[in-house]
């Protein structure tokens, strides 16, 4: 077998120890087993980092991927291509790779020259459209796909259309342990003479430990010498978001049930050697999990394969592994059934021992030595398939075929501009100017930005704080009596007006709708929705076309979650007709625009009408939106093909001369955003190129060849004058740049991970 295909170098892509998760443990165990069995093959590790401070990896880690950085996945592909790797083994789980449903990994895999063998740790029976899309692409790209259960094999064929000849069924690997009496280990843990129940794994609410706790009083009534070990640290993601809330709830429950003397928490992530000792001491292993759609469980595989008597809820992997008397299944959340079956097994030592032996026998086909052999066979098949049908040769990405690299998102300066009240409006150079205070416009833009950064996976205290502060500012800005937003707040925290502009109100609705439609932070989303619905009514009476446009974009975002809201839909229809009517009253063949002058935030008018038309299948709105955007793009393109926004010193009146300066950063963002949406919905690559051009304006692709973005501070200069840049870096310019950058990064993520229609 080994002589047919020469595999000198294998790369495993996935999480890796010391990161604390099941995938990291699996990857580490797989590498150790492959290295032990096939010493002639070098096994490299390519882990994914989810922390800025990174992990202290061992020397076999040769390249690290930053979870949310798409360029990092491309660099990883380049590294693998020049490293003479023969096969790449991907450990796939939706949550460990960046992008929507982990789609960033596709950007890596699509650019590899060697075959890919993908291990699917999760296979969903009811994927959402994005998850289905990722899985379909994994099926297409991968030379082979490995799953860990018959149910997963069935799903891959029937739901995702995976060819049977591509699929390998390989059980979850387990350590090789002798079949010994649990009493042999009990004195090491001080539990000699006691019945030991155990659950292990990263702690989270879906583990259902509380139902095992509720079963304990009945068990203790008959077997008072029983102890329940709960082994494992709280899941790191849960710990970051909620702290030890779940563990503390369990501790309170144990006190309420008066079982505290019979429960032992080991709050740490244990290494394999220590885990073997814990498994050795266990009489009955319990998995009271609450999610039926768990296609594989490493903890179940470990305990079962090591010859433990297992009682479990009937999630998919447990149904398969514990069939034919190899374990006991109890209904989800049924503490009485769990108590009854545990008592039955403790009473019947003969049955319990027979169950252990049956599990141990089957587990011989799950030990890592054998599993590594099956993986190596899969790698060989992938290599043979690749030799028969070679991949396209690697092509260097010349400059004319690749987009300019985007700057990294840097929030230092915006964080400096934000205090406990909100985002300050202006700055003298890069020093915040307190004299001009705050405005609703800038805080609305900041809230939109924070939601987009959340979608990009940008984490940390700064984005969370800025997002929360901006939303709080909008809430304070809304006058409850008039239901209108005030705009300008002095540094002394006194409003300088009773009612802000209609445009200010529209921008606030845009921000609130975006928060409702996109944020995963439940508290922010709920609060934003409450403010949005209170403030939407006045938009019906507005006269400003930009206020209509911002309100329509906010409604569009709101409809991502609540498209059935009839009142909001009626307002959308009204505002759409207002924009159409304005266009029809003003436009001509040589002036296809809404007003007799082109002023500021111009692309938002076209974008709003286009989005409304696409969402509601309103052909006229869609056509006018696209037509006006085409014209606006044409008049804002210089003779040399650069983006040239309408200048603010006079704007562009009909039958008059257009102002070339001052060019404002907000105009570049408006054009980027509108072109990105046009590309998403038409698939026409010309719109993506126009978005790239507009974004390039910030970086120096403009009339003066001077950059507006300052990479040292992370801020953006306020304007491009006739002979220089305005060196002040205020909130509007800085947030406009960051919004444009976030939208370009989201677009890059989509277009690098998937191929959109009509893309060149």
| Residue 759 pLDDT level (bands cut at 50, 70, 90) | very low
Residue ending a domain, choose from 365, 399, 430: 365
Tell me the CATH number at 224: 3.40.50.2000
The reply to whether 114 and 254 lie within a common domain is no
Range of the domain at 191: 183-365
Same domain, 225 and 240: yes
Domain boundary residue, one of 365, 396, 428: 365
Give all strands (DSSP E) within 36-122, no chain letters: 42-46, 48-49, 65-66, 87-92, 116-120
Whether 295 is covered by a domain: the verdict is yes
pTM: 0.75
DSSP result, 314-326:
--HHHHHHTTTTT
Instruction: Give dist(CA 363, CA 172) in Å, integer.
Output: 10
- Start-to-end CA span in the chain (Å): 43
Chain centre distance of CA 313? 29
Q: Are residues 377 and 261 in the same domain?
A: no
Question: Do both 196 and 140 map to the same domain?
Answer: no
Q: Does residue 190 sit in the same domain as residue 323?
A: yes
Round to whole Å and give the CA distance between 547 and 487.
Answer: 14
Runs of H (alpha helix) within 519-602? 522-536, 545-562, 566-586
Q: What is the pLDDT of residues 595-633, one digit of tens each?
A: 999 999 999 999 999 999 998 999 999 999 999 999 999
Q: Is residue 332 part of a domain?
A: yes
Taking each helix axis from N to C end, the angle separating 22-37 and 368-388, rounded to the nearest 10 degrees, works out to 80
Distances (CA, A) of 701 to 644, 707, 744: 10, 8, 16
Q: Domain for residue 219, yes or no?
A: yes
Strand, helix or coil at 233? coil
Please list the alpha-helical segments (H only) found in 98-176: 104-109, 129-141, 150-158
Classify residue 473: in a domain, yes or no: no
Asked if residue 139 belongs to a domain, the reply is yes
Among 142, 174, 159, residue whose Cα is nearest residue 297 = 174
Q: How confident is the model at residue 760 (pLDDT cuts 50, 70, 90)?
A: very low
Q: What is the DSSP string of 426-477?
A: EEETTEEEEEEEEEHHHHHHHHHHHHHHHHHT--SHHHHHHHHHHHHHHHHH
Is 463 a domain residue?
no
pLDDT at 387: 60
Based on the fold, state whether residues 244 and 126 are members of the same structural domain. Answer: no
Co-location of 233 and 103 in the same domain: no
392: helix, coil or strand?
coil
In a domain? residue 112:
yes
Q: Which of 354, 388, 422 is the last residue of a domain?
A: 388
State the Cα–Cα distance between residues 587 and 129, nearest whole angstrom. Answer: 40
Between CA 164 and CA 153 the distance in angstroms is 9
Q: For the chain, what is the radius of gyration of the CA atoms?
A: 30
Percent pLDDT > 90 in the chain is 80
Q: 131 and 199 share a domain?
A: no
User: Do 168 and 197 lie in a common domain?
Assistant: no
Q: Kindly give the residue spans of alpha helices, DSSP state H, lying in 200-288.
A: 209-222, 236-242, 245-256, 272-281
Burial, 700: exposed, middle or buried (Cβ in 10 Å; 0-12, 13-18, 19+)? middle
Confidence of residue 697 (pLDDT cuts 50, 70, 90): very high
CA distance readout (Å), 448 to 8, 322, 444, 474: 49, 50, 6, 12
pLDDT for the residue numbered 754: 66
Phi/psi at 368 (5° precision): -60, -35
Q: Judge if 295 and 314 occupy the same domain.
A: yes
Provide the pLDDT for residue 390: 44
4: confidence class by pLDDT, cuts 50, 70, 90: low
Residues 380 and 336 in one domain: no
Same domain? For 196 and 221 the reply is: yes
* Inter-residue contact 426 to 717 (CB < 8 Å): no
The answer to whether residue 693 scores a pLDDT higher than 60 is: yes
Mean pLDDT of 629-638: 98
Tell me whether the omega of the peptide bond preceding residue 403 falls within 30 degrees of 0, making it cis: no
Upstream peptide bond of 709 is cis (omega within 30 degrees of 0): no
- The residue assigned the tokens 């990174």 is 54
Q: Which two tokens stand for residue 98?
A: 């960046």
In a domain, 459, yes or no: no
Q: How many domains is the chain built from?
A: 2
Residue 340 has pLDDT above 50, yes or no: yes
Buried b (16+ CB within 10 A) or exposed e, 253-278: bbeebebeebbbbbeebbeeeebbeb
**In the predicted model, is pLDDT for residue 398 greater than 80?**
no
């Amino acid at each position: 077998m080994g002589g047919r295909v020469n595999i000198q170098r294998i790369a495993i892509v996935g999480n890796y120890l010391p990161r604390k998760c099941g995938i990291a443990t699996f990857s580490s165990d797989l590498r150790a087993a492959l290295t032990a069995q096939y010493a002639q093959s070098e096994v490299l590790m390519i882990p994914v980092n989810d922390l800025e401070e990174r992990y202290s990896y061992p020397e076999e880690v040769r390249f690290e991927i930053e979870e949310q950085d798409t360029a990092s996945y491309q660099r990883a592909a380049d590294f693998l291509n020049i490293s003479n790797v023969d096969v790449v083994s991907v450990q796939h789980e939706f949550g460990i790779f960046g992008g929507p449903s982990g789609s960033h990994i596709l950007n890596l895999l699509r650019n590899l020259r060697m075959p890919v063998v993908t291990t699917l740790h999760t296979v969903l029976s009811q994927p959402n459209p994005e998850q289905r899309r990722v899985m379909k692409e994994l099926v297409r790209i991968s030379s082979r796909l490995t799953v860990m259960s018959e149910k997963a094999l069935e799903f891959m064929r029937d739901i995702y259309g995976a060819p049977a000849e591509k699929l390998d069924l390989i059980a979850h690997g387990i350590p090789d342990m002798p079949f010994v009496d649990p009493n042999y280990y009990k004195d090491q843990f001080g539990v000699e003479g006691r019945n030991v129940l155990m659950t292990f794994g990263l702690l989270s609410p879906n583990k259902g430990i509380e139902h095992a706790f509720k079963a304990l009083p009945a068990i203790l009534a008959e077997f008072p010498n029983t102890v329940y070990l709960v082994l494992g640290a709280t899941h790191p993601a849960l710990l970051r978001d909620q702290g030890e809330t779940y563990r503390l709830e369990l501790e309170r429950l144990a006190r309420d049930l008066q079982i505290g003397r019979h429960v032992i928490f080991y709050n740490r992530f244990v290494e394999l050697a220590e885990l073997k000792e814990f498994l050795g001491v266990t009489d009955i292993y319990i998995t009271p999990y609450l999610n039926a759609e768990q296609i594989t469980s490493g903890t179940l595989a470990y305990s079962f394969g090591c010859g433990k008597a297992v009682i479990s809820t009937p999630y998919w992997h447990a149904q398969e592994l514990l069939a034919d008397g190899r374990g006991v299944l109890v209904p989800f959340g049924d503490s009485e059934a769990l108590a009854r079956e545990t008592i039955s097994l403790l009473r019947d030592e003969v049955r319990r021992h027979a169950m252990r032996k049956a599990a141990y026998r089957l587990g011989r086909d799950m030990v890592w030595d054998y599993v590594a052999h099956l993986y190596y066979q899969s790698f060989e098949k992938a290599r043979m398939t690749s030799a028969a049908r070679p991949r396209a040769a690697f092509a260097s990405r010349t400059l004319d075929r690749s987009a300019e690299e985007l700057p990294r998102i840097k929030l230092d300066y915006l964080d400096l501009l934000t205090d406990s009240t909100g985002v300050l409006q202006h700055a003298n150079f890069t020093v915040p100017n307190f004299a001009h205070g705050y405005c609703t416009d800038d805080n609305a833009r900041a809230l939109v930005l924070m939601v987009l950064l959340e979608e990009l996976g940008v984490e940390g205290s700064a984005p969370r704080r800025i997002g929360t502060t901006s939303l709080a500012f909008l809430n304070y800005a809304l006058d409850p009596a008039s239901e209108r937003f005030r705009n300008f707040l002095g540094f002394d925290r006194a409003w300088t007006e009773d009612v802000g502009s209609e445009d200010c109100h529209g921008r606030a609705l845009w921000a609130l709708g975006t928060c409702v439609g996109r944020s995963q932070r439940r508290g922010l989303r709920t609060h934003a929705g409450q403010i949005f619905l209170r403030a939407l009514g006045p938009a019906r009476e507005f006269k400003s076309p930009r206020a209509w446009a911002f309100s329509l974009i906010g409604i569009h975002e709101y409809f991502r979650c609540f498209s059935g809201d009839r009142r909001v839909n009626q307002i959308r229809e009204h505002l759409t007709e207002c924009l159409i009517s304005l266009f029809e009253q003003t436009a001509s063949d040589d002036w296809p625009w809404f007003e007799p002058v082109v002023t500021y935030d111009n692309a938002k008018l076209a974008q709003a009408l286009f989005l409304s038309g696409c969402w509601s299948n309103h052909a006229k709105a869609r056509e006018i939106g696209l037509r006006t955007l085409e014209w606006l793009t044409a008049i804002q393109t210089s003779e040399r093909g650069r983006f040239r926004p309408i200048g603010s010193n006079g704007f562009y009146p009909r039958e008059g001369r257009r102002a070339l300066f001052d060019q404002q950063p907000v105009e570049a963002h408006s054009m980027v955003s509108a072109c990105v949406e046009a590309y998403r919905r038409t698939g026409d690559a010309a719109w993506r190129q126009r978005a790239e051009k507009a974004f390039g304006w910030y970086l120096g692709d403009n009339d003066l060849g001077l950059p507006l973005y300052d990479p040292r501070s992370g801020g953006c200069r306020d304007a491009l004058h006739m002979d220089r840049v305005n060196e002040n870096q205020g909130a509007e310019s800085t947030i406009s740049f960051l919004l444009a950058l976030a939208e370009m990064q989201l677009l890059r993520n989509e277009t690098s991970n998937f191929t959109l229609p009509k893309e060149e």
